[in-house]
Amino acid sequence: MKRVLSAFCCIALCSLPLLAQRRASAKSAMTDQQFLDVAAQTDMVEINLAQLAQANASAQSVKDYAQMLITDHTNDFNHLYDVAHQANLTRPDAIDAAHNKSMIGPYQKLKGEAFDRRYIHDMIAGHTAAIATYKKEAAAAENPDVKSYAEETIPTLQKHLDGAKALLKAKTK
């Protein structure tokens, strides 16, 4: 009986990391509504930060990049409304307090070169994370319209990432 109990305990202990991993991956999966919420917040924050870049950046290349983001993320935000409607989901229409404080707040006092540096680095980090999120949704979305939207948006996000990396490279020369 002790051997059976010992074997059972050993198997249970060996299984804990696997169960924790499954639980973590289950937590990382988003519902389609959660993804649309993230996508909308991302678009609104990107537009807002790009508008700040138009006013506060020192380099014309950063301002040009920001204008591209305003155009692309505005188009995406509008398209997201149609996707949400087709999927019987909702699209947020305002930046939530958490994103406003953590993502836009730090830029309020920055100007010139300091703004440029922070903006470029944050655009690289943000677009890298966004691409990973969109790829996960493209693979796991339940609604075909949401899945298609995620797949179609990845090349634009990649263009933004490549643009930010080019800005960084030009700044470090």
Sequential DSSP letters for 6-37: HHHHHHHHHHHHHHHHHHHHHHHPPPHHHHHH
56 pLDDT more than 80: yes
Residue 29 has a pLDDT of 78
**Cα dist from 17 to 5, 12, 24, whole Å:** 20, 10, 10
Tell me the whole-structure pTM to 2 decimals: 0.81
CA–CA distance, 82 with 92 (Å, rounded to integer): 13
Q: State whether 19 and 44 are in the same domain.
A: no
Residues 91 and 160 in one domain: yes
Determine the 3-state secondary structure of 57 from DSSP: strand
Tell me which of 33-42, 101-110, 154-163 is least confident: 101-110
Domain membership of residue 10 as a residue range: 1-29
CATH number of residue 88's parent domain: 1.20.1260.10
